[in-house]
Amino acid sequence: MTATPAKSIPATLIPGDGIGSEVSDATLAVLDAVGAPFEWETCKAGMAGVDACGDPLPPETLASIRKTRLALKGPLTTPIGGGYRSSNVRLREEFQLYANLRPARTLIPGGRYEKIDIVLVRENLEGLYVGFEHYVPIGSDPRAVAVASGVNTRAGSRRICEFAFDYAAKNGRKKVTLVHKANVLKALTGLFLEAGRDVAKKYEGRIACDDRIIDACAMQLVMNPWQYDVIVTTNLFGDILSDLNAGLVGGLGMAPAGNIGTDAAIFEAVHGSAPDIAGQGKANPLALILSAAMMLDHVGLQEKAKRVRDAIDDVLCKDNIRTGDLGGKASTKQFTDAVVARVR
C-alpha cells in the first residue's frame, strides 16, 4: 500500500536579511526531508524589499500572506534610531498576530542550566511597541525631550492571558505566571495584571496562577528558572525575557517563535539578522528549524514536527554536531546535512 501524499499547504516564505538566506535554506532542506507539504510563495521584506522596490514591506508580500495566512520568516534588519519602522512589528500589526509564543527548552545537557522547559507568551501588539513616540523641542534643541506612550487594553490583555491559559491547558502545563510592573506602571501594567487574574479564575483547579514583578522575575529566572512553567507578559517585558530564556538554553541560536493571530500565523526565530556573521556559513539554523517545527504543529502535522525535534536532539547529543555558537565546529551546511540525514 502506498501512503497518500499530504495535501499541499500554501505558505509564504520570507528568507530575510543577513544570515536569513543561510538559515532559511537550511530550514527548507529539513522541511523537504520530513515531507512537509508546504507550497512556498517566496517574498521579500526588510532590506531585500528596500533594495528591490524601496519598501521594507512590499505590497506583494502582504498580499501573499493575506492569501496563505501562514508564513515562515527569516530575520529582518531594522535600522536603529532613525530609518524605517520595524517590518517585524508592522507584520504583527497588519495580521493582528497578538500572541508571540516563545518556548525555551534545554537541548544540550551539561550546560549552565539543565532541564529548562519554559514557554513565554508575549503580547505582541500593545504596550510600548505601539510606536507613539515624539520629541519635544526646548530652545535650540529640537530633541530635548523624548516621550513614548504605552497602550494596554483590557480586551488585549484578556486575549493574551486567555491564549496563555488555553495553551497551558492544551499542552499539559501546570502553571501560568503573570509578569508585570504594576507597582510602578500602575495603569499600564496594572490593567494587564487585573485582566490576567480575572482570566485565571476560569482555570481554577486546573491551571495554577501566580504573578511576579518583572525585575524579580528576571532575577529568579537566573537563580531558579525551574519554578517557571508558562509566563505571560506584556510586549516589551516579553521581548526582553525571551532573550533571557534563550540564554538559559544556550543562546539565541536555540530560540524559536510563532506569532499567532486569529486569522494568520508567522513563524520566525527569536534572533536577528546577525550582520557580524552573515555570509560566513557559520550561522546556527536551529532556531528557524525549530520555528518551522512549531509551524508543522500549527497546521496539525505534529508527527512531522516531532520527527524534526527528535532529529535535532540526536544531531546535538548523539552525533555531537554543533555550530560555533554552541561550542562546536560545524558549518551551517554540515549541521543541516546531519539533521536532514537523521530526519530521513
Place of cell 518556548: 103
- The answer to the question of residue 78 lying near ligand NAD (CB under 6 A) is yes
- The answer to the question of residue 56 lying near ligand NAD (CB under 6 A) is no
H/E run at residue 165: helix 154-170
> SS3 for 170?
helix
- The answer to the question of residue 124 lying near ligand NAD (CB under 6 A) is no
C-alpha angle 235/269/263, rounded to 5°?
65
List 12, 68, 234, 273, residue binding ligand NAD (CB under 6 A): 273
**Smallest gap, in angstroms, from Cβ of residue 242 to ligand NAD?**
10
List 248, 277, 292, 294, residue binding ligand NAD (CB under 6 A): 277
Q: Residue 300 to residues 8, 36, 37, 153: CA-CA distances in angstroms?
A: 13, 11, 12, 31
DSSP notation for 84-102: SPPHHHHHHHHTT--EEEE
> For residues 220 and 331, which CB has a smaller minimum distance to ligand NAD in the complex?
331
**Smallest gap, in angstroms, from Cβ of residue 285 to ligand NAD?**
7
Distance CA 206, CA 223 (A): 27
- The answer to the question of residue 246 lying near ligand NAD (CB under 6 A) is no
Stretch that binds ligand NAD, among 109-117, 126-134, 181-189, 265-273 (CB under 6 A): 265-273
Q: How many residues sit close enough to ligand NAD to count as binding (CB under 6 A)? A: 21
SS3 of 279-313: the string is: CCCCCCCHHHHHHHHHHHHHCCCHHHHHHHHHHHH
**Smallest gap, in angstroms, from Cβ of residue 252 to ligand NAD?**
4
> SS3 for 336?
helix
- The answer to the question of residue 283 lying near ligand NAD (CB under 6 A) is yes
The order of strands in the sheet holding 70-73 is 38-42, 9-14, 70-73, 265-269, 256-260, 99-105, 117-123, 230-233, 175-180, 208-213
**Smallest gap, in angstroms, from Cβ of residue 316 to ligand NAD?**
14
Residue 251 CA to its chain's centroid (Å):
14
Distance CA 100, CA 30 (A): 23
Distance CA 160, CA 192 (A): 9
List 172, 276, 303, 318, residue binding ligand NAD (CB under 6 A): 276
Residues designated as active site: 129, 181, 215, 239
**Smallest gap, in angstroms, from Cβ of residue 328 to ligand NAD?**
11
**Smallest gap, in angstroms, from Cβ of residue 155 to ligand NAD?**
26
Query: In this structure, are residues 308 and 293 in contact, taking their beta carbons and an 8 Å threshold?
Result: yes
- The answer to the question of residue 157 lying near ligand NAD (CB under 6 A) is no
Residues 159-198 within binding reach of ligand NAD (CB under 6 A): none
- The answer to the question of residue 272 lying near ligand NAD (CB under 6 A) is yes
List 168, 214, 252, 301, residue binding ligand NAD (CB under 6 A): 252
List 49, 58, 75, 127, residue binding ligand NAD (CB under 6 A): 75
> For residues 33 and 97, which CB has a smaller minimum distance to ligand NAD in the complex?
97
H/E run at residue 248: helix 235-248
> What are the residues binding ligand NAD (CB under 6 A)?
19, 23, 75-78, 88, 252-253, 268, 271-277, 283-284, 287, 325
